[in-house]
């Protein structure tokens, strides 16, 4: 069986669907559009599953496939496909979540006028994301990296008539751009240094010791800056919560499961580069750990259902980075996978909550939904249990792996940070859960269509059972590092770590139950006890305000200065020229008054001047 | 008598004529002033013909032509002036401004 064609079968259907929808956006009915979208991603899913099976069966990585795209200064620049286990895993995750979100969107977006446009963006995104995860070289990665960025921009700003959505889209684009510049510089420097964009060439150069350790650290950190922008790590996390202005399926697909995980994927994909530099590993671990706890604390005080989930995403991505920085390659990738499932589930469930409550997003106005919609409650609960790390749900296993690898790596400080973040995660997720579902409210609810419930059920099953691919057999680990890096084998498990993790999570849940489930402790009293802290958390540590006053305002001031310079100096000069010409013309026209005598006078005077100046020229010249 | 006195006379006459052309409001006076300037030139021609570096009779002939043409010019000028007077009802030179751009 020729695998080359197989990969194209995964990649091309969404692209074709995109082209079809763009071409036929005026004639396609909503039913046809969603059918095309679901069908194309369905085909992608089927073929990526086939690839997965053959990758699992072969036991070694599938052969790469490349062709020369163009030749630059005698150096071939290639396009192609690589199918390491990591790539195949990402293919499956992306196509699966995308497939489910396509189904879900047909219910969620059914009343939107620009339904076809929405689906075409989704299809383009799916294509780009699939292309990103199979790219064997940095240039190709960068191209798809930017494509997903564009799709994110388009979809966040999908409701562009809302000023917040417009601002959020711009912010998402600009902030990730800052990170992308880091990645771009890294790619350019790597090409200048080793003359190739290929990842395996870079790997070869590192293994052959051609690069100095300072160089490796620089490359690694620059690539990590790209990942920071995309994966919403501190300090470039601010765009991700704002990106929740986009439609909820978009939040689930792009800003929870796939695109924001692209940063983690990038680091995992170039993991040998980071491993060659302990400084870079430290940077990842600390940035990740800090982001995990930082975003988790913000999540406690937010009131918008989607923003809480967004901060939770930032926090979980921080977790993944923390794992990668602690040589927990498998743990990081494992958490990426489980997170894709349970966070997509949570977002889709949040979307269902929003739909059933007639587009209410403020959790302070919610409550009592459990009685109205038990099914949705169970689905949401599974997502919450999974992210909180309660066995046997998948989040428990992956979080346990992360904590284990952090501990085994000797980063005890970060281990404590991770445990606290796990506590906070459990707390704010169940705060959300109790706020929405518990309580004596009798909300008026709308029906949630089956097209939305179905995908959630699939994701709930996956969230519940996905953990067992790594426990108790270490199946995922064995597969992920086939033929690869032996150094990536995870540490032996330590019995007290999972116990500690579960206890901490249960503590978080019970605290949330006491405060929000049965209202035994009034949360407002807590907030009033430490008003400054509460305010600080509500305002997200004033990071946005800080950026506003430190970066945006000076830039605006500078722009204002330039504008003043332009308007009054540059424009002034231009207008002066015009003014002078005009005055000369005016004077000329007053001379031309039709009086022959005046003309004669002028002629005489000019003649005298001419003669005098000629004489003067004779005398002095 | 040397040439300088003739030239000086001609220059004075020319200047008076020029002054008249530029300043007089009455168009008839302007025409007269033009005659003055022409005659200043004639004096120059005759003076050079008699006392010039290369004395020649052709200078005097030239002045005869010039006088004849001046007569014709004066006739034409006065004819135009009369036509203008009939049209505009005035001989004031500064009222004639139809050349205004």
Q: How far is B57 from chain A (nearest CA, A)?
A: 30
Partner B contacted by A582 (CB < 8 A): no
Residues in chain A closer than 8 A to B101 (CB atoms): 589, 592, 594
Q: Quick one: pLDDT at residue A487?
A: 58
Q: Quick one: pLDDT at residue A86?
A: 86
Q: Residue A62 — very low, low, confident or very high, per pLDDT cuts 50/70/90?
A: low
Q: Quick one: pLDDT at residue A1?
A: 43
Q: pLDDT above 90 covers what percent of chain A? A: 22
Average pLDDT of chain A? 86
- Backbone phi, then psi, for A309, in 5-degree steps? -65, -35
Average pLDDT of chain B? 89
CB A402, CB A322: distance < 8 Å: yes
Reported as a single tens digit per residue, the pLDDT across A359-382 is 888 888 887 788 888 888 899 899
Chain A CA closest to residue B15:
A604
Q: What is the rounded CA–CA span in Å between residue B59 and residue A402?
A: 121
Cβ separation of A604 and B22 shorter than 8 Å?
Answer: yes
Q: Residue B95 — very low, low, confident or very high, per pLDDT cuts 50/70/90?
A: confident
Residues in chain A closer than 8 A to B28 (CB atoms): none
Reported as a single tens digit per residue, the pLDDT across A435-445 is 888 877 777 77
Cβ separation of B97 and A589 shorter than 8 Å?
Answer: no
Residues in chain B closer than 8 A to A592 (CB atoms): 100-101
Q: Residue B43 — very low, low, confident or very high, per pLDDT cuts 50/70/90?
A: very high
Write B4-9 long-range contacts (CB < 8 A, 24+).
B6/B43, B6/B44, B6/B46, B6/B47, B6/B51, B7/B44, B7/B47, B9/B43
Residues in chain B closer than 8 A to A600 (CB atoms): 21-22
Structure tokens at A377: 């409650």
**Is A520 a residue whose pLDDT tops 80?**
no
Pick from B18, B21, B100: CB nearest A593: B100
Reported as a single tens digit per residue, the pLDDT across A475-515 is 777 777 765 555 566 667 777 888 888 898 899 888 888 88
Q: Residue A575 — very low, low, confident or very high, per pLDDT cuts 50/70/90?
A: very high
Radius of gyration of chain B from Cα atoms? 17
Partner B contacted by A68 (CB < 8 A): no
CB A399, CB A415: distance < 8 Å: no
Chain A CA closest to residue B101:
A592
User: Number of A:B CB contacts under 8 A?
Assistant: 29
Q: Residue A3 — very low, low, confident or very high, per pLDDT cuts 50/70/90?
A: low
- Least confidently predicted of A265-269, A325-329, A366-370: A366-370
Residues in chain A closer than 8 A to B18 (CB atoms): 604
Cβ separation of B96 and A601 shorter than 8 Å?
Answer: no
**Is A614 a residue whose pLDDT tops 90?**
yes
Q: How far is A598 from chain B (nearest CA, A)?
A: 7
Residues in chain B closer than 8 A to A601 (CB atoms): 22
Structure tokens at A435: 């706020």
Q: Which of B22, B91, B101 to mutate to test the interface with A (most CBs of A within 10 A)?
A: B22
- Bigger pLDDT: A615 or A78? A615
Chain A residues 298-357 with a CB less than 8 Å from chain B: none
| All structural domains of chain B | 3-96 (1.10.287.3510)
Q: Residue B9 — very low, low, confident or very high, per pLDDT cuts 50/70/90?
A: very high
Q: Quick one: pLDDT at residue A277?
A: 86
Chain B residues 1-60 with a CB less than 8 Å from chain A: 18, 21-23, 30
Q: What is the rounded CA–CA span in Å between residue A404 and residue A412?
A: 11
Cβ separation of B97 and A604 shorter than 8 Å?
Answer: no
Chain B CA closest to residue A588:
B101
> Could you tell me where the DSSP H helices lie in A277-358?
278-301, 305-325, 329-356
Partner B contacted by A595 (CB < 8 A): yes
Q: What is the rounded CA–CA span in Å between residue A397 and residue A463?
A: 11
Q: Quick one: pLDDT at residue A23?
A: 87
Read off the pLDDT of each residue in A577-595 and give the average, rounded to a whole number.
87
Q: Residue B67 — very low, low, confident or very high, per pLDDT cuts 50/70/90?
A: very high
Q: Quick one: pLDDT at residue A514?
A: 85
Backbone dihedral region for residue A59 (phi beyond 0: left; psi -120 to 50: alpha; all else: beta) = left
3 state SS for A523-555: HHHHHHHCHHHHHHHHCHHHHHHHHHHHHHHHH
Q: Where are the domains of chain A?
A: 546-620
Pick from B22, B100, B101: CB nearest A597: B22
Partner B contacted by A601 (CB < 8 A): yes
Q: How far is A590 from chain B (nearest CA, A)?
A: 9
Question: A104: Cβ–Cβ under 8 A, 6 or more apart, which residues?
Answer: A249, A252, A348, A351, A451, A452, A454, A455, A456
Q: Which residues pair with A66 in a beta bridge?
A: A80
Read off the pLDDT of each residue in A203-227 and give the average, rounded to a whole number.
88
Pick from B21, B23, B97: CB nearest A593: B97
Radius of gyration of chain A from Cα atoms? 31
Cβ separation of B100 and A594 shorter than 8 Å?
Answer: yes
Residues in chain B closer than 8 A to A589 (CB atoms): 101
Pick from A594, A597, A600: CB nearest B98: A594
CB A371, CB A362: distance < 8 Å: no
Cβ separation of A594 and B96 shorter than 8 Å?
Answer: yes
Q: Quick one: pLDDT at residue A59?
A: 58
Residue with tokens 């005698």: A74
Residue with tokens 């075409």: A120
CB B13, CB B46: distance < 8 Å: no
Cβ separation of B94 and A597 shorter than 8 Å?
Answer: yes
Cβ separation of A589 and B101 shorter than 8 Å?
Answer: yes
Q: Quick one: pLDDT at residue A204?
A: 86
Chain B CA closest to residue A602:
B22
Cβ separation of A596 and B23 shorter than 8 Å?
Answer: no
Q: What is the rounded CA–CA span in Å between residue A180 and residue A229?
A: 7
Partner B contacted by A574 (CB < 8 A): no
């Amino acid at each position: 069986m020729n695998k080359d064609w197989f990969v194209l079968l995964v990649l091309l259907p969404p692209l074709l669907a995109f082209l079809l929808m763009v071409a036929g956006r005026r004639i396609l009915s909503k039913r046809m559009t969603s059918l095309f979208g679901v069908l194309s991603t369905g085909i992608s899913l089927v073929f990526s599953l086939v690839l997965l099976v053959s990758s699992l069966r072969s036991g070694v990585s599938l052969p790469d496939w490349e062709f020369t795209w163009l030749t630059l200064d005698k150096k071939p620049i290639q396009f192609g496909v690589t199918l390491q286990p990591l790539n195949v895993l990402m293919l499956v995750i992306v196509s699966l979540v995308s497939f489910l979100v396509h189904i879900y969107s047909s219910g969620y977006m059914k009343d939107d006028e620009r339904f076809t446009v929405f689906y075409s963006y989704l299809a383009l995104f799916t294509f780009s994301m699939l292309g990103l995860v199979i790219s064997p070289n940095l240039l190709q990665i960068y191209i798809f990296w930017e494509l997903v960025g564009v799709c994110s921009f388009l979809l966040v700003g999908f409701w562009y008539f809302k000023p917040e959505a417009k601002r959020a889209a711009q912010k998402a684009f600009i902030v990730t751009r800052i990170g992308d510049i880091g990645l771009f510089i890294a790619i350019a420097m790597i090409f200048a240094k080793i003359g190739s964009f290929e990842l395996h060439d870079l790997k070869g150069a590192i293994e052959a010791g051609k690069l100095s350790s300072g160089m490796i650290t620089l490359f690694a950190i620059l690539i990590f800056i790209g990942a920071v922008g995309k994966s919403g790590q501190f300090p470039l996390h601010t765009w991700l919560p704002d990106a929740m202005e986009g439609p909820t399926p978009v939040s689930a697909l792009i800003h929870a499961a796939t695109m924001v995980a692209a940063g983690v994927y990038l680091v995992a994909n170039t993991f040998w580069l980071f491993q060659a530099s302990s400084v870079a590993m430290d940077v990842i671990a600390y940035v990740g750990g800090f982001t995990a706890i930082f975003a988790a604390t913000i999540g406690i005080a937010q009131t918008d259902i989607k923003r809480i989930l967004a901060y939770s995403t930032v926090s979980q991505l921080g977790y993944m980075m923390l794992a990668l920085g602690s040589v927990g390659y498998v743990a990081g990738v494992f958490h990426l996978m489980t997170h894709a499932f349970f966070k997509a589930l949570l977002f889709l469930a949040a979307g269902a909550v929003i739909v059933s409550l007639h587009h209410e997003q403020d959790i302070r106005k919610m409550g009592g939904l459990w009685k109205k919609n038990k099914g949705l409650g169970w689905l949401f609960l599974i997502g919450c249990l999974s992210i909180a790390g309660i066995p046997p749900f998948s989040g428990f296993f992956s979080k346990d792996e992360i904590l284990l690898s952090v501990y085994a790596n000797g980063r005890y400080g970060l281990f404590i940070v991770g445990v606290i973040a796990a506590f906070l995660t459990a707390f704010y997720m169940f705060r959300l859960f109790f706020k929405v579902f518990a309580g004596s409210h009798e909300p008026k609810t709308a029906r949630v269509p089956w097209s939305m419930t179905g995908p959630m059920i699939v994701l709930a099953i996956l969230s519940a059972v996905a953990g067992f691919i790594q426990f108790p057999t270490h199946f995922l680990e064995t597969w992920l590092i086939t033929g690869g890096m032996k150094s990536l084998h995870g540490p032996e498990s330590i019995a007290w770590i999972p116990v500690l993790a579960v206890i901490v999570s249960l503590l978080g849940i019970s605290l949330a139950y006491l405060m929000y489930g049965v209202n035994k402790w009034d949360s407002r009293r807590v907030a009033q006890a430490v008003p400054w802290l509460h305010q600080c958390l509500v305002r997200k540590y004033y990071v946005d305000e800080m950026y506003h006053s430190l970066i945006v305002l000076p830039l605006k001031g500078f722009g204002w200065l330039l504008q003043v310079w332009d308007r009054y100096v540059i424009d002034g000069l231009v207008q002066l020229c015009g003014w002078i010409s005009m005055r000369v013309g005016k004077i000329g026209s007053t001379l031309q008054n039709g009086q022959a005598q005046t003309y004669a006078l002028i002629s005489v005077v000019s003649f005298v001047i001419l003669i005098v100046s000629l004489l003067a020229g004779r005398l002095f010249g | 008598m040397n040439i300088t006195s003739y030239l000086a006379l001609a220059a004075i006459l020319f200047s008076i004529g020029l002054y008249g052309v530029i300043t007089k409001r009455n168009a008839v006076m302007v025409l007269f002033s033009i005659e003055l300037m022409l005659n200043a030139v004639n004096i120059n021609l005759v003076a050079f013909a008699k006392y010039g570096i290369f004395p020649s009779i052709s200078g005097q002939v030239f002045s005869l032509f010039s006088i004849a043409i001046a007569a014709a010019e004066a006739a034409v000028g006065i004819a135009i002036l009369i036509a203008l007077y009939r049209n505009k009802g005035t001989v004031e030179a500064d009222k004639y401004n139809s050349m205004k751009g």
